[in-house]
């Protein structure tokens, strides 16, 4: 069955996924809003940058993050100069790397949801003297809610399953950086297949339940007339 | 050649057909002639041995008609693949446990088992300030992170932990240790400067008698159990009719040329084949 270190890994994974999802919603929503509405010539390059983490294999991305966040890297120099030390082998380091890696999974659904609304609602609100902040908060966000829920689910699920990046920058420290995926991998590599099966089953059942609950909830709302777009 | 012979595409095509047919015949003959004597085998090799194996394979192929393809991976992954039918003729593990398990599962030829290399550990740093004083830095705790390979997965990690215990530093270093999934990752932790010190395989930073970059303290092998890397011929080789080829490779592997290559990478070679000391924690 699940050992104590398995449980610690599960708890750490949930903590990481929740933190990353929350931060990504806070950072990703304005970004998605900007991308959906801007006519700036930076739109293309920024979109491409947001999607870029999907391209490098996670262990390779993790390798470059190890260098980037290390004492010789630009970010490592910055975090050291403000007294934070370097980020690899720490929980904040995992959060930072996962933010980067899960970014497209959060930004794209929200951006799609905002684009699908069209501009009409916001324009009508503007004629009624609603300011930009008012329009964003009371029109755009509520209408984009299904997209935001999808973004949260994808961001969370993707962070729970994340392996390669964390393997590279984590340092496998119990309770600090050893997440479930790494723990399962350790079991498999150590030929402890039974323990690997148990932990994988727990992870699958948990993830399936969360996803099922969210999609059921979303469906019910849609059925009661609460729909996507205009 | 009459000029009209070359006119008309059908003639050209027919000429080409002849040429292709002749070429094909030639290729078939060339392929068929030595078929009785040459085979291509695929061997599974633990990643830490990839560079010396590359040289060994080149040497072997130069002296033989057989061809060798190398599949790299961690020993645990390769083991799982072998147990599930991967077409490997031989397995070069980073440890003894997995080879022992394959013998127990009747998937390998026990009599072919051979300790092809004895690994050596080095306390390595890329920090110029620690150069030549790696041991003092370790004992005085003058570092933020000490990288070792995962003791559960990597024999080099298990040995590193034994060294730490033997030096009486288990407690002082317990919060400073970071654990690489394998020895390559452990190397990256130190090479990128994120860990100031690391216990890695000497073979990673050693060529022809010297450490090539960074600096290190070669850990005395009295501080840990020998890191014995075993190889074995898989029963699959016989089934696939590749036994002759893999036997020839085994002979080359134990010959002076291969031994010289292995030693040039900082490994020791075993005086006798396969010394079984049992699981590391048994003593």
Say what the pLDDT of residue A214 is: 79
HSE of A125 in the Cβ direction (CA atoms, 13 Å)?
16
A–B CB contacts, 8 A cutoff, strictly below: 63
Residue A122 has pLDDT above 90, yes or no: no
Q: Which of residues 117-176 of B touch A (CB under 8 A)?
A: 144-145, 147, 150, 152-153
Instruction: Give the per-residue pLDDT at B273.
Output: 44
**pLDDT confidence of residue A215:** 81
The per-residue pLDDT for B281 is 34
The DSSP 8-state label assigned to residue B253 in this structure reads H
B90 φ, ψ (degrees, to nearest 5): -150, 160
Given a contact cutoff of 8 angstroms between Cβ atoms, the answer to whether A41 and A98 are in contact is no
- What pLDDT is attached to residue B10? 62
CA dist list (Å): B213 to A142, B128, B191, B204: 58, 11, 10, 10
- Alpha-carbon gap: B33 to the closest alpha carbon of chain A (Å): 43
Higher pLDDT, residue A75 or B1: A75
Give the model's confidence band at B113: pLDDT under 50 very low, under 70 low, under 90 confident, else very high: very high
Say what the pLDDT of residue B135 is.
94
pLDDT over threshold 70, residue B279:
no
In this complex, which of B98, B101, B194 lies closest to A89 when CB atoms are compared? B194
* pLDDT for residue B270: 76
Rounded to whole angstroms, how far apart are CA atoms B24 and B50?
Answer: 36
* B163: its two tokens: 């060294």
What is the reported pLDDT for B28?
Answer: 58
Determine, for residues A167 and B74 on separate chains, whether the beta-carbon distance falls below 8 Å. no
Model pLDDT, residue B282:
30
Chain B contacts of A73, Cβ < 8 Å?
192
**Cβ pair B152:A70 closer than 8 A:** no
Tokens coding B182: 């394998």
Residues of B in contact with A66 (CB under 8 A): 188-189, 192, 194
pLDDT value for B158: 94
| Two tokens, residue B193 | 């400067």
Q: Do B185 and A167 touch (CB under 8 A)?
A: yes
Residue B276 predicted with pLDDT over 50:
no
Q: Are B249 and B68 in contact (CB under 8 A)?
A: yes
- As a whole number, mean pLDDT of residues B243-251 equals 96
Contacts of A113 (CB under 8 A, 6+ apart): A143, A144, A145, A146, A147, A148, A150, A228, A229
Least confident of A113-122, A155-164, A173-182: A113-122
| B31-88 pLDDT tens trace | 555 445 689 999 999 988 999 999 999 999 999 999 999 998 889 889 989 998 899 9
**Residue B122: closest CA among B61, B65, B190, B178:** B190
Q: Which of A70, A173, A190 sits opposite B192 (nearest CB)?
A: A70
Chain B residues touching residue A71 (CB < 8 angstroms) = 193-194
Q: Which residues of A touch B152 (CB under 8 A)?
A: 186, 189-190
Residue of B nearest to A185 (CA): B181
Q: What does the pLDDT look like over A9-36, one tens digit per residue?
A: 999 999 999 999 999 999 999 999 999 9
Contact: B101, A86; criterion CB under 8 Å = no
User: If pLDDT is split at 50, 70 and 90, which confidence band does B278 have?
Assistant: very low
Query: How much of chain A exceeds pLDDT 70, in percent?
Result: 96
Q: Do B76 and A189 count as a contact with CB atoms less than 8 A apart?
A: yes
pTM of whole model > 0.90? no
The confidence score (pLDDT) of residue A126 equals 86
Instruction: State the pLDDT at residue A79.
Output: 93
Contact between B168 and B109 (Cβ < 8 Å): no
Nearest-CB residue to B179 (from A171, A189, A191) = A171
Confidence label for A155 from pLDDT (cuts 50, 70 and 90): very high
Distance from CA of A86 to the nearest CA of B (A): 8
- The Cα B237–Cα B68 span in angstroms is 13
Cβ-defined contact of A191 to B79 (cutoff 8 Å): yes
Least confident of A124-133, B175-184, B229-238: A124-133
Give the pLDDT mean for B5-32.
Answer: 59
Rounded to an integer, what distance in angstroms lies between the CA atom of residue B238 and that of residue B174?
48
Residue B35: what pLDDT? 47
Treating both helix axes as pointing N-terminal to C-terminal, what angle do A4-37 and A43-51 enclose, rounded to 10 degrees?
A: 170
pLDDT at B246: 96
pLDDT tens digit string along A32-65?
999 999 999 999 999 999 999 889 899 899 999 9
The 10 Å CB-count burial string (b at 16+, else e) for B3-36 is: eeeeeeeeeeeeeeeeeeeeeeeeeeeeeeeeee
Q: Mean pLDDT over residues B145-152, rounded?
A: 95
Q: What are the chain A neighbours of B194 within 8 Å (beta carbons)? A: 66, 69-71, 86, 88-89
Greater pLDDT, B16 or B148: B148
Output the 3-class SS for chain A. Answer: CCCHHHHHHHHHHHHHHHHHHHHHHHHHHHHHHHHHHCCCCCHHHHHHHHHHHHCCCHHHHHHHHHHHHCCCCHHHHHHHHCCCCCCCCCHHHHHHHHHHHHHHHHHHHHHHHHHHHCCHHHHHHHHCCCCHHHHHHHHHHHHCHHHHHHHHHHHHHHHHHCCHHHHHHHCCCCCCCCCHHHHHHHHHHCCCHHHHHHHHHHHHHHHHHHHHHHHHHHHHHHHCCCCCCC
Chain A hits for B193, CB-CB cut-off 8 Å, are 70-72
Q: Report which DSSP code applies to B207.
A: E
Here the tokens at position A137 are 């908060």
Spell out which residues of chain A touch residue B144, defining contact as CB-CB under 8 Å. 85
Q: Compare CB distances from B179 to A63, A72, A172 and report the shortest one's residue.
A: A172
Give B185's contacts in chain A (Cβ within 8 Å): 167-168
Query: Predicted confidence band at B3 (pLDDT cuts at 50, 70, 90)?
Result: low
How many CB atoms sit inside 10 A of residue A229's CB? 15
As a whole number of angstroms, the distance between CA B107 and CA B102 comes to 5
Mean pLDDT of chain B: 87
pLDDT (average), residues B183-209: 94
């Amino acid at each position: 069955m699940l050992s104590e270190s398995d449980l610690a890994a599960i708890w750490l994974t949930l903590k990481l996924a929740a933190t990353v999802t929350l931060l990504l919603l806070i950072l990703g929503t304005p970004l998605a809003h900007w991308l959906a509405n801007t006519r700036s010539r930076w739109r293309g390059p920024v979109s491409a940058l947001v999607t870029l983490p999907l391209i490098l294999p996670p262990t390779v991305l993790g390798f470059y993050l190890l260098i980037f966040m290390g004492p010789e890297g630009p970010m490592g120099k910055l975090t050291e100069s403000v007294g934070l030390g370097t980020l690899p082998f720490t929980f904040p380091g995992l959060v930072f790397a996962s933010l980067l890696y899960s970014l497209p999974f959060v930004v794209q659904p929200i951006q799609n949801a905002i684009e699908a609304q069209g501009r009409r609602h916001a324009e009508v609100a503007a004629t009624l003297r609603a300011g930009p902040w008012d329009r964003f908060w009371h029109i755009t966000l509520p209408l984009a809610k299904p997209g935001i829920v999808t973004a949260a689910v994808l961001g969370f699920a993707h962070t729970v399953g994340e392996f390669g990046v964390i393997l590279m920058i984590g340092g496998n420290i119990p309770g600090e950086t050893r997440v479930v995926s790494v723990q399962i991998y350790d079991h498999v590599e150590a030929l402890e297949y039974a323990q690997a099966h148990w932990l994988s089953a727990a992870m699958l059942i948990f993830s399936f339940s969360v996803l099922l609950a969210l999609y059921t909830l979303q469906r019910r709302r849609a059925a009661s007339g609460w729909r996507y777009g205009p | 050649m009459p000029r009209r012979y070359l006119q008309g595409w059908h003639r050209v095509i027919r000429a080409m057909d002849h040429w292709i047919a002749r070429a094909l015949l030639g290729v078939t003959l060339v392929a068929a002639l030595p078929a009785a004597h040459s085979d291509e085998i695929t061997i599974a090799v633990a990643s830490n041995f990839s560079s010396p194996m590359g040289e060994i394979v080149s040497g072997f192929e130069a002296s033989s008609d057989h061809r060798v393809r190398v599949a790299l991976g961690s020993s645990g992954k390769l083991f799982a693949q072998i147990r599930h039918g991967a077409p490997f003729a031989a397995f070069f593990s980073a440890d003894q446990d997995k080879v022992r398990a394959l013998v127990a599962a009747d998937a390998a030829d026990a009599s072919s088992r051979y300790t092809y290399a004895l690994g050596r550990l080095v306390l390595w740093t890329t920090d110029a300030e620690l150069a030549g004083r790696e041991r003092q830095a370790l004992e005085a705790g003058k570092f933020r992170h000490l990288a070792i390979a995962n003791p559960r997965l990597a024999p080099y990690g298990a040995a590193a932990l034994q060294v730490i215990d033997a030096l009486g530093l288990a407690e002082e270093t317990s919060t400073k240790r970071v654990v690489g999934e394998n020895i390559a990752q452990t190397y990256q932790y130190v090479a990128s400067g994120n860990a100031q010190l690391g216990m890695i395989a000497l073979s990673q930073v050693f060529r022809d008698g010297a450490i090539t970059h960074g600096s290190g303290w070669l850990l005395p092998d009295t501080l840990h159990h020998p890191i014995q890397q075993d190889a074995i011929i898989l029963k699959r080789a016989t089934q696939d009719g590749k036994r002759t080829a893999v036997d020839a490779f085994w002979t080359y592997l134990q010959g002076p040329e291969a031994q010289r290559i292995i030693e040039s990478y900082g490994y020791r070679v075993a005086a006798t084949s396969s010394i079984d000391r049992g699981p590391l924690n048994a003593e």
